[in-house]
A and B are shown apart, each in its own frame.
Chain A
């Protein structure tokens, strides 16, 4: 199957993340922010209808710490 169509999961690079909080603003359905602005992922797997939003959140991260991985299966 084309990797672009596979299910996607969120991955946060905890070492790169500095808690800017843009991902939580753009994808509140899947990402909460703690009191310092660091993301808490509620659900790692991205439903199809949120895929574009997840991509936008990953693109917005100024530290490039939010990744959208294609599932291997």
Chain B
């Protein structure tokens, strides 16, 4: 009984929150650089290879902080997560759905990491096909942060989420604006997603995490949403 209060503020929990937040910021930067460098625009003051290297190095740094986020969350005694939770989504005892989104994002990023390391063997088509999953991982990470982040109610944290969202959306629109003709289906999908994600996130935040009693509802939602999950 005496341990509960002490463990709520355990250093591992702080490390996990800091690691997760930093991973989100770094992932955002990586995604933005990826979006920006994919087009045909030539940067003026910096070499294209520098953007490519920055993209790669920030992605590896993201995984370092993501590793810290996951390891400290599992080791933290307060939420009692098993190691399986770090790779198998939606099986956690603590907020299964919202934690599972983060696990799914991690799995996607690991697939991107492995295929990038092996890209010269896989060939450009398979590598690129898997690389697109990063675009799915980023919103998953964002909703994971909003849905189960301890700090989601802090104004500063909300501003940080907003800044991450705004940067990626701006990068998508910039890329679409600079793009030449062709790839209509892909560009429409990008435009629709860039419009939908902020709307859905705002509605979700207003209806969920920012309302009183979210911690009880977050623990229950998977039963309703996934239909009989544990």
Q: What residues make up the interface of A, taking CB atoms closer than 8 Å to B? A: 16, 20-22, 25-26, 37, 59-60, 62-65
Bits for B45-73, please: 1 = Cβ < 8 Å to A, else 0: 00111001100000000000000000000
**With A16-B124, A37-B42, A62-B38 given, can you name 20 additional A-B contacts, CB distance below 8 Å?**
A20-B48, A21-B42, A21-B48, A22-B47, A22-B48, A22-B49, A22-B52, A25-B47, A25-B49, A26-B49, A60-B52, A60-B53, A62-B37, A62-B52, A63-B124, A64-B119, A64-B120, A64-B123, A64-B127, A65-B124
The complex places the Cα of A22 from the Cα of B38 at a distance, in Å, of 12
Q: What residues make up the interface of B, taking CB atoms closer than 8 Å to A? A: 37-38, 42, 47-49, 52-53, 119-120, 123-124, 127
User: Shortest beta-carbon distance, B16 to chain A, in Å?
Assistant: 34
The interface residues of chain A lying within 8 Å CB-to-CB of B49 are: 22, 25-26, 60
Instruction: Name the residue on A nearest B50 (C-beta).
Output: A25
User: Shortest beta-carbon distance, A2 to chain B, in Å?
Assistant: 19
The interface residues of chain B lying within 8 Å CB-to-CB of A26 are: 49
User: Shortest beta-carbon distance, B57 to chain A, in Å?
Assistant: 13
The complex places the Cα of A37 from the Cα of B123 at a distance, in Å, of 22
Partner of B124, one of A20, A25, A59, A64: A64
The interface residues of chain B lying within 8 Å CB-to-CB of A16 are: 124
Q: Are B48 and A25 in contact (CB under 8 A)?
A: yes
